[in-house]
């Protein structure tokens, strides 16, 4: 094993250069003008996976392609590990808030700044380099490996679920390993024990057939922006609870998990400071980590209406739109939340406007079944790389494919992430710690060896 780790140490500068190449490709999945860049990123990754020694196919979907790499040399009797990650990234805007441009990776203060550095190109690529290290030194991997890298995670993984259903036999694995999550603090290796689900909508409000003079018409024609604001304001009560009827019916709080989360080393003051918000706030009766990890939310992710340029324009806008998403916890179902949201909107929509809800995407919540050989191997691998045992934490974000992997492939998922608090994922100045890229590569290599046992 030490030859593998020596190889990693000796080749780290090249690994970093390669990651920088990967980060220069603006593979923004949400934007159709980046379709070609997505394709380029898939091809770049496929080539690197081939160089590392995997057999690679780029699988077309009705959306963005899926890159599948395989190495089956450990034989039928050995376990198979499926490593999943995503090569697509979130839109980089607002560009003017970046210190260095989003697709010109820059190393500052031990951090790799670029869109996609931590989410998820750096965390995906370190697994490819761990595989390379084994194959170049030992000529083999300790286990069979399948790598699945998708280009649609940031837009809901719509085509990956049918893909794994259609290829369940080929993708059959004993364990699924994912690095796309965050550690609770620097130097504290973290295994994420839960993910929230998501249900994402656009809410459209239409009034008059065209924008109107707000003096000539205002007061006599219902304003779609005001109507939208009223609908949005109706979604929470003064205690921060979601007012949609039936919304909490399926929310299951596991008292034991709640107690475990209370012990996670979470620095609340630092968390607030990172956000820059004057104070934290949320659902009454729950702590910050509970609000993040075991309670559902309703958020407005975007708002559009009327005149927002310089100065004033007296206009009554013809339409208004909000992007609204819900984070979900066990046992909530995004399809049921959609039905309840539609019913709520219909009930509270003011007269005089037309209201339409458009569903964007959904994903199920997930809770890990901790323990067993996979989690024991991960604890040993993380301890080897970081010099201390991992902690178990919750996660507020969503990775829609995770529950589907467990359902379709019947294997447990391990979330072993190397992000850090304040990493600015989805925001300007996203970064990944270079040290975590290095230690993550060691941990990934050690995990493959530990899983052979």
Residues that bind ligand BES (CB under 6 A): 119-120, 153-154, 156, 180-182, 198, 361, 363, 395-400
Q: How many of the other CB atoms lie within 10 Å of CB of 311?
A: 5
Q: What is the 3-state secondary structure (H, E, C) of 327-375?
A: EECCCCCHHHHHHHHHHHHHHHCCCCCEEEEEEEEEECCEECCCCCHHH
Looking at the Cβ atoms of 120 and 364, the one nearer to Zn ion is: 120
Q: What is the 3-state secondary structure (H, E, C) of 66-80?
A: EEEEEECCCCCCCCE
Place of tokens 């709640």: 258
CB of 352 to ligand BES, least distance (A): 34
- Span interacting with Zn ion, options 113-121, 279-287, 415-423, 436-444, rule CB under 5 A: 113-121
Looking at the Cβ atoms of 292 and 316, the one nearer to ligand BES is: 292
Q: Residue 387: name the closest of 431, 435, 434, 451 by CA.
A: 435
Looking at the Cβ atoms of 88 and 450, the one nearer to Zn ion is: 88
Looking at the Cβ atoms of 144 and 157, the one nearer to ligand BES is: 157
CB of 403 to Zn ion, least distance (A): 16
Residue of closest CB approach to ligand BES: 397
Exposure pattern of 50-88 as b/e (b: 16+ CB <10 Å)?
eebbbebeebeeebbbbbbbbbeebeeebbbbbbbbbbb
Question: What number of CA atoms fall less than 13 Å from residue 276's CA on the CB side?
Answer: 2
Catalytic center residues:
88, 153
Which option in ligand BES, Zn ion, none does residue 430 bind, with CB closer than 5 to 8 A by kind?
Answer: none
120 binds Zn ion (CB under 5 A): yes
CB of 141 to ligand BES, least distance (A): 26
Which option in Zn ion, ligand BES, none does residue 223 bind, with CB closer than 5 to 8 A by kind?
Answer: none
- Span interacting with Zn ion, options 97-105, 172-180, 327-335, 342-350, rule CB under 5 A: 172-180
Looking at the Cβ atoms of 178 and 377, the one nearer to ligand BES is: 178
CB of 18 to ligand BES, least distance (A): 21
Strand partners, 414: 177
119 binds Zn ion (CB under 5 A): yes
180 binds Zn ion (CB under 5 A): yes
CB of 193 to Zn ion, least distance (A): 17
> Cα separation of 453 and 449, whole Å?
7
> Cα separation of 90 and 115, whole Å?
7
Looking at the Cβ atoms of 73 and 422, the one nearer to ligand BES is: 422
364 binds Zn ion (CB under 5 A): no
Which option in ligand BES, Zn ion, none does residue 350 bind, with CB closer than 5 to 8 A by kind?
Answer: none
430 binds Zn ion (CB under 5 A): no
- DSSP class of residue 318 equals S
Cα R_g (the chain), whole angstroms: 23
Number of residues that bind Zn ion (CB under 5 A): 3
Which option in ligand BES, Zn ion, none does residue 150 bind, with CB closer than 5 to 8 A by kind?
Answer: none
CB of 306 to ligand BES, least distance (A): 28
> Cα separation of 174 and 218, whole Å?
64
Which option in ligand BES, Zn ion, none does residue 397 bind, with CB closer than 5 to 8 A by kind?
Answer: ligand BES
Q: Which two tokens stand for residue 438?
A: 């290095």
CB of 112 to Zn ion, least distance (A): 15
- Span interacting with Zn ion, options 61-69, 111-119, 125-133, 371-379, rule CB under 5 A: 111-119
> Cα separation of 49 and 42, whole Å?
10
450 binds Zn ion (CB under 5 A): no
Q: Which of residues 189-218 bind Zn ion (CB under 5 A)?
A: none
Q: Residue 392: name the closest of 417, 410, 419 by CA.
A: 417
Which option in ligand BES, Zn ion, none does residue 181 bind, with CB closer than 5 to 8 A by kind?
Answer: ligand BES
> Cα separation of 226 and 231, whole Å?
9
Q: Do 19 and 149 contact (CB within 8 A), yes or no?
A: no
Q: Which residues in 30-169 belong to E strands, given as ranges? A: 55-59, 66-71, 80-86, 106-108, 111-113, 144-150
CB of 396 to ligand BES, least distance (A): 6
Which option in Zn ion, ligand BES, none does residue 198 bind, with CB closer than 5 to 8 A by kind?
Answer: ligand BES
> Cα separation of 415 and 453, whole Å?
20
Which option in Zn ion, ligand BES, none does residue 182 bind, with CB closer than 5 to 8 A by kind?
Answer: ligand BES
Looking at the Cβ atoms of 132 and 154, the one nearer to ligand BES is: 154
Place of tokens 């951090």: 111
Q: Rule CB under 5 A: which residues touch Zn ion?
A: 119-120, 180
């Amino acid at each position: 094993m030490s030859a593998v780790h020596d190889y990693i140490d000796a080749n780290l500068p090249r690994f970093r250069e390669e990651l920088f190449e990967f980060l220069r490709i603006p593979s923004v999945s949400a934007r159709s003008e980046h379709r070609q860049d997505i394709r380029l990123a898939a091809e770049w990754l496929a080539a690197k996976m081939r160089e590392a020694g995997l057999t690679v196919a780029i699988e077309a979907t009705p959306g963005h392609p899926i890159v599948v790499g395989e190495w089956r040399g450990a034989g039928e009797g050995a376990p198979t590990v499926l490593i999943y990650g995503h090569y697509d990234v979130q839109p980089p805007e607002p560009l003017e808030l970046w210190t260095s441009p989003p697709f010109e990776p820059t190393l500052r203060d031990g951090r790799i700044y670029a869109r996609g550095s931590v989410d998820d190109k750096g965390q995906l690529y370190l697994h490819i380099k761990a595989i390379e290290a084994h194959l170049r030194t030992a000529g083999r991997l300790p286990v069979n490996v399948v790598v699945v890298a998708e280009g649609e995670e940031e837009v809901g993984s719509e085509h990956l679920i049918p893909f794994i259903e259609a290829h369940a036999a080929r993708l059959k694995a004993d364990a699924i390993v994912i690095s796309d999550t965050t550690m609770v603090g620097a130097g504290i290796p973290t295994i994420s024990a839960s993910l929230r689900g998501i249900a994402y909508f656009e809410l459209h409000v239409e009034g008059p057939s065209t924008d109107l003079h707000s003096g000539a018409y205002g007061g006599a024609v219902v304003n779609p922006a005001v109507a939208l604001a009223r609908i949005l304001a109706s979604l929470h009560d003064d205690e921060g609870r979601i007012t949609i009827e039936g919304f909490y019916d399926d929310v299951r709080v596991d008292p034991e998990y709640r107690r475990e989360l209370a012990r996670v080393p979470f620095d609340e003051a630092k968390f607030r400071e990172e956000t820059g918000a004057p104070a934290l706030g949320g659902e009454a009766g729950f702590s910050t980590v509970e609000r993040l990890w075991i309670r559902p939310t309703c958020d407005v992710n975007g708002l559009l209406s009327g005149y927002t340029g310089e100065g004033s324009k007296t206009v009554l806008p013809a339409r208004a739109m909000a992007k609204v998403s819900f984070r979900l916890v066990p046992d909530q179902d995004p399809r049921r939340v959609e039905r309840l949201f539609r019913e709520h909107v219909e009930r509270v929509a003011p007269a005089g406007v037309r209201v339409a809800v458009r569903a964007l995407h959904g994903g199920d919540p997930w809770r890990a079944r901790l323990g067993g050989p996979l989690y024991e191997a991960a604890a040993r691998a993380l301890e080897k790389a970081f010099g201390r045992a991992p902690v178990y934490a919750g996660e507020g974000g969503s990775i829609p494919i995770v529950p589907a992997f467990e359902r379709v492939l019947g294997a447990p998922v391990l979330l072993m992430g190397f992000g850090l608090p304040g990493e600015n994922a989805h925001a300007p100045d996203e970064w990944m710690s270079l040290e975590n890229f290095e230690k993550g590569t060691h941990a990934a290599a050690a995990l493959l060896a530990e899983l052979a046992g």
